[in-house]
Amino acid sequence: MIRRSMNRRDIFTGDYSRESEHGDMSYENLKFDKNDVFLVTGGAGFIGSNLCEAILNLGYRVRCLDDLSTGKQENVDLFLDHPLYEFVKGDIRDMDTCLKACEGISYVLNQAAWGSVPRSIEMPLFYEEVNIRGTLNMMEAARQRGVRRFVYASSSSVYGDHPQLPKREGTEGELLSPYALTKRVCEEYGKLYYRLYGLETYGLRYFNVFGRRQNPEGAYAAVIPKFIKQLLNGEQPVIYGDGKQSRDFTYIENVIEANLKACKASCEGAGQAFNIAYGGREFLIDIYHELAKALGRDIEPAFGPERKGDIKHSNADISKARELLGYEAEWSFERGIKEAIEWYKGIFGVSQRG
Ligand code: NAD
Ligand 1 atom index nearest CA of 69: 11
Note the CATH number of domain 26-210+251-279+312-331: 3.40.50.720
C-alpha 314/C-alpha 164 separation (Å) is 9
Ligand 1 atom index nearest CA of 71: 9
The confidence score (pLDDT) of residue 23 equals 52
The confidence score (pLDDT) of residue 1 equals 29
The confidence score (pLDDT) of residue 63 equals 99
Ligand 1 centroid vs 70 CA: distance in angstroms? 7
The confidence score (pLDDT) of residue 22 equals 44
Ligand 1 atom index nearest CA of 43: 9
Q: Is the CB of 134 under 6 A from ligand 1?
A: yes
**Nearest protein CA to atom 27 of ligand 1, as residue:** 47
Q: Is the CB of 64 under 6 A from ligand 1?
A: no
Active site residues: 179
**Nearest protein CA to atom 12 of ligand 1, as residue:** 42
Any idea where the domains of the chain sit in the sequence?
26-210+251-279+312-331
**Per-residue pLDDT in tens (0 to 9) along the chain, 354 residues:** 233 333 333 333 333 344 444 456 799 999 999 999 999 999 999 999 999 999 999 999 999 999 999 999 999 999 999 999 999 999 999 999 999 999 999 999 999 999 999 999 999 999 999 999 999 999 999 999 999 999 999 999 999 999 999 999 999 999 999 999 999 999 999 999 999 999 999 999 999 999 999 999 988 899 999 999 999 999 999 999 999 999 999 999 999 999 999 999 999 999 999 999 999 999 999 999 999 999 999 999 999 999 888 889 999 999 999 999 999 999 999 999 999 999 999 998 775 444
